[in-house]
């Protein structure tokens, strides 16, 4: 007698119960509906998204510290770690500069602000100060000095990723210098702490759909859908420029590693949807680090390149800043010469670094750029207040994909990428289940590839790597 097929409601219920992607997608749609129908109620849901982001931030610094220390200690080569850092910085500078240039070319071609004829005196410049909290971007010297920790505990307490990275490099170097014989219990303790942190990530991720629901409801409740009509030309241009940049990333990834960006996007679809819903790449950083490691990137490369990219490789922000600067100039009737546009690129190359974590950083960078040119009234930056939140999705996707591609490219460049495993994971020959994502090391006692989270349920025998099957056979 053939097995009974579950009814459609049961299948839907099973998918919603087991798939994070389905849960987040439903929460996204529900948040939009609530924001549209009950905007007053929606604005009170802000704590849902903020609370989730706070929980994630509490474990980012210790996670980065553990991954980097373990990566350095296991790689056994501090010089290789230095090469990874240098190559990452080169990649970041090339990628972010390319994003700035693409943004300027797109804005010159489409002219999104032309014909608006805005009088800058009618704009409320104080609204920009309210958005930025009266802060300012650090100078280059301040940025470098602030990256140096003043205390071991302070770096973690203030969640300063660059300071945590420096401390992790020092501890990893010390472990290599002393050797495992002098401090035999330190590295295993850090590895165990790392396992605990990934388990905590799994617990927190169960709240992701609630966070996405709250964040989307607040967005639609506060801004509505009308702002999309008002700034349609600018929004379409920014998203089209981002799509072009991502296509170039896909070509670069294929040329350097042979991997497909679209398959990788499918691989991290849950994390991408969560980042879109919460408008934050930090909310998915722990899970993305885990998935990059499972896809064959070495611990030291993942631990250094991805967190550093959060400060140095904001490709989506670079696109938005260059397009936004020209949009403002065109809207107020200022025609920027070629020399002034080159100045825009040079200024943004500096101001776009270290923007992560600073409230209203995009407006601070735009204000600094306008002031450096002298031709654009600083108050004109207020033109982008209504559309800035809509641009978050573009910035988040582009920033996240740009940093992930950087991890693969630099890892391949340094020989720190298991390319065969990466291809199998992206081709779904090795399937990473969500349970394995939540518990990175849970299968260590099973032996072989099963320890890396291979889910062989339902796969044909030919699709299961030989070492998985062999690991389950008794020793002869």
Strand partners, 417: 297
Closest listed residue to residue 77, CA positions, set 206, 219, 172 = 172
Asked if the model's pLDDT at residue 261 lies above 90, the reply is: yes
DSSP per-residue codes, 79-97: HHHHHHHHHHHHHHHHHHH
- For the chain, percent of residues with pLDDT exceeding 70: 76
Asked if the model's pLDDT at residue 14 lies above 60, the reply is: yes
What average pLDDT does range 274-279 have in this prediction?
81
Spatial distance between the Cα atoms of 21 and 311, rounded to a whole number of angstroms: 28
Closest listed residue to residue 248, CA positions, set 138, 368, 409, 87 = 409
What average pLDDT does range 3-11 have in this prediction?
67
Spatial distance between the Cα atoms of 69 and 166, rounded to a whole number of angstroms: 10
* HEC string for 436-451: HHHCCCCCHHHCHHHH
pLDDT at residue 352 in the model:
67
Spatial distance between the Cα atoms of 295 and 367, rounded to a whole number of angstroms: 41
pLDDT at residue 244 in the model:
94
Query: What is the b/e burial string over 73-92, where b = at least 16 CB atoms within 10 angstroms of the residue's CB?
Result: bebeeeebbebbbebbbebb
- Asked if residues 31 and 216 have their Cβ atoms less than 8 Å apart, the reply is yes
Asked if the model's pLDDT at residue 149 lies above 80, the reply is: yes
Asked if the model's pLDDT at residue 109 lies above 50, the reply is: yes
User: Contacts from 18-22 at CB under 8 Å and sequence distance 24+?
Assistant: 18/434, 19/434, 20/205, 20/208, 20/209, 20/270, 20/274, 20/434, 21/269, 21/270, 21/273
- By three-state DSSP, how is residue 302 classified? helix
453: left (phi over 0), alpha (psi -120 to 50) or beta: left
Q: Taking the CA atoms of the chain, what radius of gyration do you get in angstroms? A: 24
What is the distance of C-alpha 211 from the center of its chain?
Answer: 17
pLDDT at residue 385 in the model:
73
In eight-state DSSP terms, residue 385 is T
Burial class (CB in 10 A: 0-12, 13-18, 19+), 19: middle
Helix residue ranges per DSSP H, 118-185 = 126-132, 140-146, 152-157, 161-182
> pLDDT digits over 414-428, tens only?
888 999 999 999 998
What average pLDDT does range 286-298 have in this prediction?
91
Pick from 25-29, 102-106, 219-223, 283-287: least confident: 219-223
- Asked if residues 151 and 163 have their Cβ atoms less than 8 Å apart, the reply is no
Asked if the model's pLDDT at residue 214 lies above 80, the reply is: yes
Query: Pick the residue with more confidence: 247 or 377?
Result: 247
Asked if the model's pLDDT at residue 468 lies above 50, the reply is: no
What is the overall mean pLDDT for the chain? 78
> pLDDT digits over 362-390, tens only?
667 777 777 666 667 766 777 777 677 77
pLDDT at residue 464 in the model:
35
Spatial distance between the Cα atoms of 169 and 64, rounded to a whole number of angstroms: 11
- For the chain, percent of residues with pLDDT exceeding 90: 17
Query: Pick the residue with more confidence: 244 or 18?
Result: 244
In eight-state DSSP terms, residue 475 is P
What average pLDDT does range 194-207 have in this prediction?
86
Asked if the model's pLDDT at residue 120 lies above 80, the reply is: no
Pick from 234-248, 293-307, 326-340, 436-450: least confident: 436-450
Which helix (H) or strand (E) element contains residue 357?
A: none
What average pLDDT does range 60-76 have in this prediction?
83
Closest listed residue to residue 455, CA positions, set 418, 428, 423 = 428
pLDDT at residue 226 in the model:
60
Burial class (CB in 10 A: 0-12, 13-18, 19+), 121: exposed
Spatial distance between the Cα atoms of 181 and 460, rounded to a whole number of angstroms: 45
Asked if the model's pLDDT at residue 443 lies above 80, the reply is: no
Asked if the model's pLDDT at residue 290 lies above 60, the reply is: yes
pLDDT at residue 172 in the model:
86
pLDDT at residue 247 in the model:
95
């Amino acid at each position: 007698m053939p097995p009974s097929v579950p009814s459609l409601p049961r299948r839907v219920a099973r998918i919603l119960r087991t798939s994070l992607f389905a849960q987040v997608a439903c929460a996204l749609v529900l948040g939009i509906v609530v924001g549209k129908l009950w905007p007053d109620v929606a604005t009170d849901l802000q704590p849902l998204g903020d609370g989730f982001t706070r929980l994630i931030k509490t474990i980012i610094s210790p996670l980065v510290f553990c991954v980097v220390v373990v990566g350095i200690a296991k790689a056994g080569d501090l010089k290789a770690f230095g090469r990874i850092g240098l190559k990452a910085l080169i990649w970041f500078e090339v990628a972010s500069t390319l994003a700035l240039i693409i943004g300027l070319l797109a804005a010159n071609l489409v002219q999104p602000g032309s014909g608006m004829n805005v009088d800058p005196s009618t704009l409320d410049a104080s609204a920009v100060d309210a958005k930025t909290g009266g802060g300012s971007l650090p100078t280059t010297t301040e940025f470098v000095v602030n990256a140096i920790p003043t205390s071991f505990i302070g770096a973690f307490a203030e969640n300063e990723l660059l300071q945590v990275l420096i401390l992790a490099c020092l501890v990893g170097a010390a472990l290599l210098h002393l050797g495992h014989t002098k401090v035999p219990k330190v590295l295993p303790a850090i590895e165990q702490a790392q396992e605990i942190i990934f388990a905590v990530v799994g617990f927190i991720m169960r709240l992701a759909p609630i966070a996405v629901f709250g964040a989307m409801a607040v967005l639609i409740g506060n801004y509505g859908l009308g702002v999309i009509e008002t700034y349609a030309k600018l929004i379409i241009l920014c998203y089209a420029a981002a799509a072009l940049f991502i296509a170039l990333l896909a070509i670069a990834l294929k040329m350097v590693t042979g991997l497909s960006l679209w398959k990788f996007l499918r691989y991290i679809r849950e994390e991408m949807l969560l980042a879109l819903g919460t408008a934050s790449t930090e909310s998915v950083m722990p899970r993305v680090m885990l998935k990059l490691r499972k896809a064959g990137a070495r611990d030291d490369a993942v631990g250094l390149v991805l967190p550093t990219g959060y400060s140095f490789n904001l490709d989506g922000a670079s696109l938005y800043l260059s397009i936004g600067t020209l949009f403002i100039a065109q809207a107020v009737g200022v025609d920027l010469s070629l020399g002034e546009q080159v100045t825009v690129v040079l200024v943004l190359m500096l101001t776009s670094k270290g923007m992560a974590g600073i409230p209203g950083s995009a407006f601070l960078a735009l204000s600094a750029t306008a002031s450096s040119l002298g031709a654009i009234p600083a108050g004109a930056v207020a033109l982008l207040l209504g559309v800035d939140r809509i641009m978050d999705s573009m910035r988040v996707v582009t920033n996240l994909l740009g940093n992930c591609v950087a991890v693969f490219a630099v890892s391949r460049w340094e020989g720190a990428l298991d390319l065969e495993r990466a291809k199998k994971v992206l081709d779904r020959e090795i399937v990473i289940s969500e349970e394995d994502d939540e518990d990175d090391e849970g299968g260590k006692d099973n032996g072989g590839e099963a320890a890396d989270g291979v889910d062989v349920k339902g796969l044909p025998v030919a699709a299961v790597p030989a070492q998985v099957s062999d690991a389950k056979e008794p020793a002869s």
